[in-house]
Amino acid sequence: MLSLRNVSVRLPKGAEREFALQDIDLDVAAGEILCVVGESGSGKSLTAMSILGLLPAPRVTLAGGTIAFEGEDLASLPPARLRAIRGKRIGMIFQEPMTALNPLMPVGRQIAEVLEEHARHLTRIMVLAQVQALLEEVGIPDPPGAARAYPHELSGGQRQRAMIAMALAMEPRLLIADEPTTALDVTTQARILALIKEIQARRGTGVLFITHDFGVVAEIADRVAVMQHGRIVETGPAAQVLGAPAHPYTRALVGAVPPLTPPARAATVPGADILVVEGLRKTYRTGSLFGRRRVVDAVQDVSFTLHKGETLGIVGESGSGKSTVARTLVKLLPADGGSIRLNGTEIRAASRAAFRPMTRHIQMVFQDPYASLNPRRRAGDLIAQGPRIHGASRAEARATAERMLALVGLDPASAGRFPHEFSGGQRQRIGLARALALEPSVLVADEPVSALDVSVQAQVLRLLAELKQRLSLSLVFITHDLRVAAQVCDRILVMYRGVVVEQGETAAIFAAPTHPYTRALLASVPGRGWAPPPAPVQESL
C-alpha cells in the first residue's frame, strides 16, 4: 500500500551529517503493523514527516526517491493534493497529545473539524453523530462529556485516545503513529497499544509505528525495520528480528534491552540500616489568598529501610509520589511529617543550615542529563564544586574531579570541556561523578537512565552496578521502568497515588505480586512475553 524507494532527505549545511535519511526502502501492506525502531537521531521521525510532506522546508528537504501510496507518488505531489491526502487517507498520531491538540478548542470540535474539512457533504448532525461514534470506538469513558471537554480536562491516556479518534475520523487506509505511547504511563500505554491493534485488525488499516522501545515492538509489530544513522540496517518479520537479529547493530540494541526477569542474585546479607524512613508525609498546597485552594497528598505515610550495600527500587507511575520521596530524602523539598534517619541522625527535622554539612552523606543523581548540569561550568568545575563546598582546597578538589572522571569512565583530560560538548550518556556520567565526588554513603537516583537511549542506558546501568560494588554504595533507585528495576534493584517498593502498596525482594514481587496494582503494572509492561536473546559480548556503541 505504501512503499518508499531510495528516499533521501538532505540536512542543512553544517549539520552533523549531510543526509538525515539515505536510501530508505520501506513497505507497509494493508492490515499490517510495521514498526520503525531506532535510537534518537536515527531519522525515524523524519521518515514519517517525509511521507506526509511535513519536512521543515526549506532547511530540510527531500533529496530523492519515490513515496508510492495507493498508486500516487507523494514525493512529487503539489502541496494542495498532499493536504487532501493527509488526514483523509493517511491519519497521524503524535507523541504528545497535549501539544498536538488545540488547547482552546473542545476535543469534539477538533474531531468535527477534520470531518468538515475532508467530508464537506456531511450535515452538522451527521458530523456530531460521527464524533460520538469515534469517541466511543476509541473507548473514552463518557463520550458526550469528552467531546465537550478541553484537552487539559482529559487525562493523558484520554487525550491520546481523542487523538486517535481524530486520526481515524476519515477512515484512513494508513495510520502513522510517531511514538504515540512514549509520554504515557505504562498501564495507559498497554491500553493504547491494545486499542491501536484492535482498530487496525477491525478496519484492516496499515500502521507505520515509530518507536524506540523494543518492548513496544515485541508487543504490536508484524514487521520491523531497524534504523541507524538515517539508514535501514535490517527489516524482517517481528519474530525474526527480535528473536534472531542478523545485523550487529540490531543484535546490540536487542541485547541492551533489560529482560523482565530479575537475575538470580547471591542473597546479600543485609548490612546495617543506613537510611530509615518512617511515616513520611508530603502535601502540596496550591492557590493563594484569593484563588481556589487545592490540596494534593503527594506522599502519605511512606516507611522503608535501606540497608548498607543494597539497592532499593521505588517504582510507580507518574503522580505516584516517587520523585517527591526522592526529593524529600535529600531535603530539596521539605517533608510535612515523619522521620528520615541517615546513619542514625534525624535529618527530616534538621534545619537547612544544620543539614548542609550532612549533604555529603546523601547525594542525588537527576533524570535529565541536559538540564542537570550548569551549562556555563566546565565538567571539572561541576564535579569539584561539591568537595570545594565541603572544605577541600582547590587542588584537592581538582584532583578529586579528575579521579571521579576516570571512575565513571571519562577521560580526565575532558575536565576542561563544557557540558554541551558531551553526549547524553557522558553527561549522565558527569552527573554521577559530581554526586560521587563527596563519597556519599547513600545515593538517590531519580530516573537516572530514563532519558537515555537503550544502548547508553545499558552502559550507565552497568557502570552504576560496578560502582555500587566497588564503593559499597547504598542506592535508592527511582524508576518507572520495570525492566530496569528488575535488573538493578535488590528490593522494590511499589507506590500508587502517594501510598506504598507493596514492598519486598525484587524476585519475589516479580514472581508473585500480591497487590492488584502491582499485578496490573507487571501485566502492562510491553513485550512481557518476549525475552531478548542473550546479549552478545558488546563493545561500547
**Residue ranges binding another protein (CB under 8 A):** 12, 14-15, 59, 327, 330, 332, 355-360, 363-364, 366-368, 371-376, 385-386, 389-390, 431, 434, 438
Q: For the packed helices 156-168 and 186-203, what is the interaxial angle rounded to 10 degrees?
A: 20
In 93-183, where does DSSP find H-type helix?
Answer: 97-100, 107-118, 124-137, 143-148, 156-168
Pick between residue 373 and residue 525 the one whose CB is nearest to another protein. 373
* Shortest separation between residue 419's beta carbon and another protein, angstroms: 9
The three cell numbers of residue 439 are 563519597
Pick between residue 324 and residue 455 the one whose CB is nearest to another protein. 324
Pick between residue 12 and residue 263 the one whose CB is nearest to another protein. 12
Decide if 350 contacts 343 (C-beta within 8 A).
no
* Shortest separation between residue 367's beta carbon and another protein, angstroms: 7
* Shortest separation between residue 276's beta carbon and another protein, angstroms: 20
3-class SS shares of the chain: helix, strand, coil, % to 5: 40, 25, 35
> Measured between alpha carbons, how far is 342 from 339 in angstroms, rounded to an integer?
10
> What number of H helices and E strands is found in the chain?
20, 20
Pick between residue 360 and residue 515 the one whose CB is nearest to another protein. 360
Give the count of beta carbons closer than 10 Å to the beta carbon of residue 420. 9
Pick between residue 296 and residue 531 the one whose CB is nearest to another protein. 296
> Measured between alpha carbons, how far is 34 from 211 in angstroms, rounded to an integer?
11
> Measured between alpha carbons, how far is 450 from 482 in angstroms, rounded to an integer?
11
In 258-321, where does DSSP find H-type helix?
Answer: none
Pick between residue 324 and residue 503 the one whose CB is nearest to another protein. 324
Decide if 532 contacts 511 (C-beta within 8 A).
no
* Shortest separation between residue 289's beta carbon and another protein, angstroms: 9
- Nearest Cα neighbor of 144 from 161, 131, 155 is 131
* Shortest separation between residue 51's beta carbon and another protein, angstroms: 23
The three cell numbers of residue 179 are 511514538
Amino acid, single-letter form, for residue 415: A
* Shortest separation between residue 389's beta carbon and another protein, angstroms: 5
* Shortest separation between residue 491's beta carbon and another protein, angstroms: 24
* Shortest separation between residue 390's beta carbon and another protein, angstroms: 7
Pick between residue 167 and residue 438 the one whose CB is nearest to another protein. 438
> Measured between alpha carbons, how far is 98 from 154 in angstroms, rounded to an integer?
10
Decide if 29 contacts 1 (C-beta within 8 A).
yes
Pick between residue 196 and residue 404 the one whose CB is nearest to another protein. 404
* Shortest separation between residue 388's beta carbon and another protein, angstroms: 9
Pick between residue 353 and residue 537 the one whose CB is nearest to another protein. 353
